[in-house]
Amino acid sequence: MKIVVLKFGGTSVGSIKKILKVTKIISGYIKKRYKVIVVSSAMSGETNKLAKLTKKISSNFISSEYDAIVATGEQIACSLIAGGLSDKGYLSRSWQAWQIPIITRGDHSHSRIININKKNILRFLKKGGIPVIAGFQGINSENRITTIGRGGSDASAIMLAKFFKAKKCIIYTDVDGVYTTDPNVSKKAKKIKQISYEEMLEMSSLGAKVMQPHSIQDARLNRIDIEVRSSFSNNNGSLITKRKNISNRNIIRGVSFTKYDSKITLIGVKDRPGVAAAIFAPLYKNSINVDMVVQNISSNKRETDLTFTVKNEDLLKTEKIIKKNKNIIFKKIIVDEKVSKVSIVGVGMITTPGVTFRMFNALAKKNINIIVISTSEIKISVLIDRKNLNKAVDVLHKEFKLDN
């Protein structure tokens, strides 16, 4: 069976007009003799509306019921798509995770798909049917509805492609591919025809919003090629694939950024084994993601200054937790909530000397001061004043010839 998995994001199914456009895209693959498995997100904005309802009941709404509520958004979208396909004369029906079932493991709202029962879907495909499956959801060992994190419909599509051995997994969204940087920030952003899992994983974790990092990781682990395309144009998209399939050998593939970061510095921390763990453990327990971390030990080795970054939305909560933390002693806390992180990403930097110098030199020429530096094999990130963000993106985009 030649199976294709088509996933449609919230913007692609955001209105009846858009859903009818989606049914035309699906019928195009049927005409090419594919067996089509459709995965849908909720209509744009619907999940946020449902989440707000829970907050009106309780600021600490029970997680299992939260998942049960927010998962209903996909049910509506799937039924509308299936109804549209039926109106065109196709055999189609919607499927919720529990009807298949899609089995997950892990905490509510952060589960992962571990198994998919293929029997009923395969039977429906063989009859010529088009299953429209709710993304973002599954059921656990207790038969409770679970969700797999925001952007989880991408992960649903990738795992369906894995279990059904699909020829293609295509993610339809409101952009026609992956770009060298955000087109809303730089008019010179270019679409990337092919990008490796590793590069896409770094770019998504560093601010690129095309796909969620955990979805890219699922694709990488299972070697599922993903094509990202627009629901609103016929333009070719971007292929996310293995490194050896990449024909473009640019050193740097993209410039990513996160705009709203905050820098926290603890001055004069009493240094001892385990002090960093004592600082970060309460943040981890409160689901606060700590990003760039720099530690400077004093000459007498008794004190340290420790700097790290968090998202602006987590700043007040982070300050409160640190000040209440009786397991650490420090002299002062300094906060800067007007910083941004800019990163260059590319597997080419592994074997190319001088990339770090070129990045730092390009920023220096524009009088952009670097506050914090973080590196990995295929990325270099710097923290800068937010007012310099757009200028930094433009200069780095030009320096590494991504304008061409």
- Does position 150 have pLDDT exceeding 80, yes or no? no
Q: From 131, 159, 174, give the residue that closes a domain.
A: 174
CA distances from 313 to 245, 259, 309, 319, 327 (A): 39, 12, 12, 12, 25
Question: Among residues 249, 225, 243, 296, which one has the least CA distance to residue 401?
Answer: 249
Residue 186 lies in a domain: no
Residue 243 lies in a domain: no
pLDDT in tens, 275-305: 899 999 999 988 899 999 998 887 677 889 9
pLDDT at 131: 98
Residue 7 lies in a domain: yes
**DSSP designation for 298:** -
Residue 249 lies in a domain: no
Residues 30 and 169 in one domain: yes
Residues 146 and 292 in one domain: no
Give the SS3 label for residue 323: helix
Under the banding of pLDDT at 50, 70 and 90, the label for residue 404 is confident
Residues 170 and 259 in one domain: no
pLDDT in tens, 112-141: 999 999 999 999 999 999 999 999 999 999
Residues 134 and 20 in one domain: yes
Q: From 150, 174, 198, give the residue that closes a domain.
A: 174
Residues 151 and 259 in one domain: no
pLDDT at 246: 78
Residue 191 lies in a domain: no
Residues 166 and 276 in one domain: no
The average pLDDT across 380-391 equals: 96
Residue 220 lies in a domain: no
Residues 160 and 18 in one domain: yes
pLDDT at 195: 92
Residue 373 lies in a domain: yes
3-state percent breakdown (helix, strand, coil) of the chain, nearest 5: 35, 30, 35
Residues 151 and 290 in one domain: no
Q: From 159, 174, 189, give the residue that closes a domain.
A: 174
Using CB atoms within 10 A of its CB, is residue 350 exposed (0-12), middle (13-18) or buried (19+)? Answer: exposed
Residue 347 and residue 196 in contact, taking contact as beta carbons nearer than 8 Å: yes
Average pLDDT, rounded, for the chain:
93
Of 83 and 59, which is predicted with more confidence?
Answer: 83
**Number of folded domains that form the chain:** 2
Instruction: Give residue 36's domain range.
Output: 3-174
pLDDT in tens, 350-377: 888 999 999 999 999 999 999 999 998 8
Residue 123 lies in a domain: yes
CATH code (residue 327): 3.30.2130.10
CATH code (residue 152): 3.40.1160.10
Under the banding of pLDDT at 50, 70 and 90, the label for residue 248 is low
Residues 161 and 262 in one domain: no
Residues 141 and 269 in one domain: no
